[in-house]
Structure 1
Amino acid sequence: MFEKTSSTLANDDPMSEVLAPDKLLQRCQDMYTSFNSATTTPDAHADEKLLAWKILNADDCTFIRQVFYGLYRYKKLINVLITAFFHSKSGEVQRSDVNMYMVFTYISLLRLRELTFYPYRRLILCQEPQKMVVFLSFVFNEENLNNLCKDEWLKLYDVEFVEQIVADVLVWLPDIDELISHLEEKVYLNKKKEEEEANAWAAGGKGRATVARPFNITAPKPRVVPPEEPPQPPIRAKAPPPRKTGPTTEEQNIQQVKEQNREKMSAFYSDPKKQPFKLASDQRPTNIEKVREEVEAERAAELQFEGIAPRPAPAPTNAQVKLNSAAILREDALYKKKQEQEAKILQQYEQELRDASEFKEWQSTMLAMDEKERLEEVERRRIEMAASQQAAIDAKLKQVEDNKELVAAMRVEAAEAEEQLAAERAAQEDANRQKREKIVDDRQGIKVAQEKVTLERKVRADALIAEKAELARRMAEERALEHQRKQDLIRQLRAMENVPMAPTKEFDPTSTMEIGLLEEMSLAELKERMAVVKRKQKEEEEEKRNEIVDRKQQRENMLMEKAANISRIRDLGNTQAQMRRLKKEQVKEEVVAQQKVKREQGMLDLHERLQNKQEARKAEQARLAAEEKAIKFEQLRQAASASAVEETKFKELRKGQDRDLKVRQDRTQVLAAQYEKTKYKQETIRTTNIRNESKAKRDFIKDYDERIKQLTIAKEVAKKEELDYKTSLVEEEHTRVETMHTKGLHMSQRAVI
């Protein structure tokens, strides 16, 4: 992967068919920007593009593929940093370079350890130094990563993954600082060199100096001030039509016609001759329904048949899942932790003779009791909620009645307000009439006012033109003075150029400075020693590579041993689990058998109790029948009238109705009290929740504002430091120019002398 690519980037052989770093990065950007997930897959897109570009080097293909896959996979992570980067450095970067920054973000955050620093440095140096200075100073900054990116990354990935990314980036800070210093030197020295070349060309160049000429621009014609339009008359809305209540005239007419038609039809069908014809056979008793039920029962019996029994489902396979290194280490650590816990329990039992099984049994019993109490509490609350619901319905009905009364009162108030509004409208009409008369009088003086305003505007325009002419004259004088000052400066610089320079001495790479230092050496000796140090460094890298290979082999052997141990422990655990399952099934069967015996005994007891109750009910019915027979006989004997019997029955029914009404009234009062109590609890809970949510929201807003304030202060401090730095650079440049100017004057004076 990236290890091969790093070797490719480090290869300086001109005959190797590899892409240059800048072309390699451009291919990565083109690969990512041309991908459309709705039409193709990443693999197919990569194969198609590499074939179209005719890239034959395997390392280049691997590098482009890995960068493209990484950009597609970690798109959200990269977008977080890119968004923060463009927000913080909006005045120093261009939006068109977003794809280049995305590629460098992926390599810097996730692949820099594999790529190593030297190939990464080559990729950086092939780009524009100004862009890379801004990017590297932002990405390799611990404060930016923690404050601007880490919070958003934690919403997408695990804490360990995010912390690992930040730690990997901060490892390269010393090397990156040197690279940033090198790039800054390039940026600022290039600007300085360009300024020096421009000054030298202006001082001793062969071309003629450009003479500034004013633009031949036609003077604009004075614009005609448009006349002001007269004010529009006020728009008066029509009064709304009077409000009518009740049905409309059309609805009343329709209802009247319906009543007339209904009376006509009633009068028409009141005549016995107009009654509809009915067959006497339809009124006779028939058994067609019974016959239909018998036929349907026969058809249903024909449909009852024994179906084909389905095949049993196949048994699941016992194939084991292949474990990777992380799963092996995790499961091995879990088994070790369990073994340590078991050893600790045995050690405590040996030393302190303490067994926690009784406590755990008591704990499980108490938990079961708590669960039972919880279920009872839930049932009680359910009953209370039902009662509260009924009370809420009653309260709603009461509220509806109150609303009706309130609506009636509001209608009365609306009628009074309408009368008052009519009076105000009449007063407003009188005031409008007076205003209209006043406006008609004022319109007669509009023309005079317009002429006066036009004259004033013309005077102001003439004054403005004169002021602009004076300002242009002053600017021309200032430009002439500035041009004269520049010509003087150019003459001085040319005088400095004409001063003869001192002769230079050729440099000998085999000679030394001969100033008496202990480590004094020539440039040739220094290069030789550097070659020796590089060979030694290469040997150390080879030794370190061998050590890494040995450690990998040892790790693989260790993982193999742990995987075998895990397999053995799993087999043992499966055997024990099967034994526990069998034991649990036996216990379950015993419990089911005991419950069956208890259920049968309960059924017998219930049947016996029901039988006794049935016999007692029959005896009571026989006694009541005898008493009723005796009462009837007594009533007949006493020749009680039918009216007296009916009156007695009505009284009994009246008493029963009164008792039922009293019971329902008591039940309603109890339910209403329960509803009020439950409603009060619900309102208290709702108020508490709203208060807690409001407090949490205020705390969140306060923290967010504080954080934004801190970020704003930090940004202002950074901008101030950058402004101070640029100001110091400008001051140094001015000082240098003044120094050179002073030296040039001195040298010109000496030359004149």
Structure 2
Amino acid sequence: MAYYGRCLDAVREQLGKFKASKDSPEQFLEAAASSLQTLDPQKQAFILEVLSGCLQYRKLLTVVVDAFYVRDGRPFLWADHSLFQVICYLAAFQMEELGFRLFCDIIKSQPLNKVCTFLRFFFNPLHLCTWIKDEWSRIYDSAHVRETWINPLMRWQPEVQELIRQLEGLLTHQAPLSKAKAKVTEPKEFNLTAPRPRAVPMPEPVPEVAKPRPVPRSTYQPPKEQRLLEMTRRYNRRKAEELLLQANVEELRCAVPRARGVPPEQDSKEPQLRLPPRIRRTPKLTFFRPDAVQVKLNTAAILREGALYQRQVERELQRVDKLVDGAGDFSEFLLWQKRMQAKDREEQLVAGECRRLQGKLSHEEAALARQHLARENKQKADRKKEETAGRMQQHAERCLQEKRAMKELVEQVMEAQKNIKVAQMKLLKDRQQIVQEVLEESRELQQRGAEAAREEQRQRYKRISQLRALETQPLRKGKLVDLTQTPGYGLEGEMSLVELRERLALLREAQRLQEEEKRDQIVRGKRAKSQELQDVVQQISLCRSAMGRAAALRWEQRKAGGAAPGAPAQDERVRELRRRVAERAAERRAQEAPMPVPGLRAARPRTRAQQEARHWQELERSRERRLRARRAGGSARGCAPRPEAS
């Protein structure tokens, strides 16, 4: 117990040093860790963990401890505030990790009367479920507070109440402290000399202070312009909310499903402000949640679908008008169209076969080109070897010539070294003469630079004296401004400040009126648009039902009279391409046979040829499968329904 008591004392000491207004929790923990390095590692880890938890949940702990001092903790000193914070943190956040037995040992290591009173206050079920839960919910989410902290504390109620009864029993059986009689101090009189009586000083006259002016009432009241702006803002906001509520009601009316069995005439006679049954009201707006909506359409989708059906209806009306005027039937055209479609499909199959054969032909031609390239590369390699041998012989001859030239050069250098000393003496005299000339020129340049610097210094001193003389002259400060006076610069449209303010006020008023008019136009436009959307939705429902019936009829007709298209006939282009492919393959095999190949690589070309043959066989099979699938798809397409009709 003494071990945990020392640990809690260290935590209390560190908490007492923490100042929330000045210290940062991270920096404070680092400083505390550096100051506790002399302790045992296990003890240091426990102290830092408890200290970091107290700093992290400082707001929650402060709420509970401050309420405890107000209600039940009046007899205790304020210096024990950190002790109650540590006990509250261990009980609320570390009970599960520490275990109840270790928690009891930590509690018994502290003063029993203090911890018993605090535990009785904190684990009171009425306090936990009412004001503690509400105060903590202001800081964290209410569901998180209830599930993470309140419910575990309520589960520990039986064990904690038993601990409180044990602590109360220990307090009752604890022997009272013996109070020894303190030695009473007997006072003795001081033997002092009697002082002389002091003369009464004359009172100083009270100075008369001038009566101060009273504080104006406008000091404690907001300005008039601010109050007018606040009233205008409230009025505009209330008006905008009313208009938005009306617009939402009108706009959502088009999405309300009409009850089954109610005719449109009866539905249109309902009052305009009647709301649907599933409306959830809030203090500002009204939201509508329909019971069951199959497809959720926005404004763009409704208008787009309405325009589509409108175009279809117009085309149908035009067709009917043409039939009434005596136009012919489309049955012959439909038969011709089917024949043309079958012919197009056959052309597509032939074109696909042609592309496949062209690819195979290009493959054979590429193989022939590779064989020609290999033969040409071999011939080039032979020519390259012959050229290399000739170049090696030329290089040997060139090396012999270079050796002879080097010997001649060495002999010339030996002769030139004899005249080096004469050339060096001549060069030394030339350099000395050049150095003397450079020194004379540098002396002249230094003298000219010094004279220029002195002249510049004199000019600078003269300018400084003139500037100082100008600074000493008096300047006139301040200028009287008349707000009603026109500047008189001769500009077009110039005016005084008073006139400018009046014109700005008139401009703001005109702008406000314009904004109100524009707001009214927006609301009227929204109402007209909602009515138009309602009409389009009704038209869409009618068109959908009609299109569904027409699609069902078309499906029955196609199911009854569908027929599979015939197989495509052979084409001249296909036969010609197959003949060319066979010729190229025979030519390639004929050229592969006589080529000399080393013994180790003899099996590779045959393996590659077999792979290519297998590849083309697989392509042929896949082509036949696609052809059969396309035929089967064409026969099924004749009796299949259109997606939009379904």
**TM-score, scaled to structure 2:** 0.34
Structure having the higher Rg: 2
Q: Structure 1 or 2: larger helix share?
A: 1
**TM-score, scaled to structure 1:** 0.30
